[in-house]
Amino acid sequence: QPDFTARRPGTVGLIDLEVNNTVFRPASQSSGNVTWSHGAGGFAQAGVVLVGDVQLAAFAETTGDTLVFGRELTTSGVLGLLQPALNAVVGANVLSTWSSQATVSGLTVLPGQVYEARFNVSSGPNLPVDLLESLTFGITNPEVDGALGGGAQTLDVLGLLTLGDASSTGDYVFQFTSSAALSSLTFSFDAESAVSLGLLGGAAGNQNVLTFSGFEVVAVPEPGSIALGGIAGIALFLRRKRRE
């Protein structure tokens, strides 16, 4: 899969506070049979004349076999002299939004065959996931349906994560079928938070809000797995297996 980051760039020479909550989406990138599209919204920047600037930005990033939705606070210049800009950025009304889609080609998905998608999702250290407003996942192919119950192509997984003061983690499994033979699948991941930077764990460095890993899709009951190319094995989730 391609390793790349979506993060709104700052403006050179900016002094006054700027807030931009629209989703920044650079061009898609491909590697092998996987094409990723990332988008991240929620950005604030302020500066001090002849000193430097402060930026707060949401980012979506794929690295290796993981997908990360995060936020970062960066400073350029002498930190002690940037306190007015830091206060302005941290106190700004920044609404963080993350959206990523992965399309995997070269597959052999058989009609009527039951498949099981598995993955892990965890929130950042000391980040209560109830501070998130939404967290959804889906397979966007119209031919795909849940194997049990049917009908749903997206799932609100936020309620499945444990709420609390510590970071939350969970292993998920979803069984699905397709009504037609498919050679590609598209997976979509979306999350949103409207809480302040302070509530999201402080004002320093990078912060991984959500991390997705351990992706695979296997045919059921056959033990073989579909080669989706690392992270692209995410799908919908019917049930959760709690981490011990």
pTM to 2 decimals? 0.82
The pLDDT of residue 202 is 52
The pLDDT of residue 207 is 82
Average pLDDT of the segment spanning 14-34: 92
Rounded to an integer, what is the distance from CA 229 to the centroid of its chain?
18
Q: Give residue limits of the domains in the chain.
A: 4-241
146 or 97: which leads in pLDDT = 97
- Say if residues 13 and 51 touch (Cβ distance below 8 Å): no
Residue 154: count other Cβ atoms within 10 Å of its Cβ. 13
Q: Does pLDDT of 225 surpass 70? A: no
Peptide bond into 2 cis (omega under 30): no
Identify the weakest region by mean pLDDT among 89-103, 148-162, 230-244.
230-244
Instruction: Express each pLDDT in 179-214 by its tens digit.
Output: 999 999 988 889 998 666 555 555 456 788 889 988
| SS3 sequence of 106-128 | CCCECCCCEEEEEEEEEECCCCC
Output b/e per residue, 195-209; b: 16+ Cβ within 10 A.
Answer: eebeebbebeeebbb
Average pLDDT of the segment spanning 137-142: 83
114 or 217: which leads in pLDDT = 114
Q: Does pLDDT of 14 surpass 60? A: yes
Please report which confidence band the pLDDT of residue 7 belongs to, taking 50, 70 and 90 as the band edges.
very high
The pLDDT of residue 243 is 38
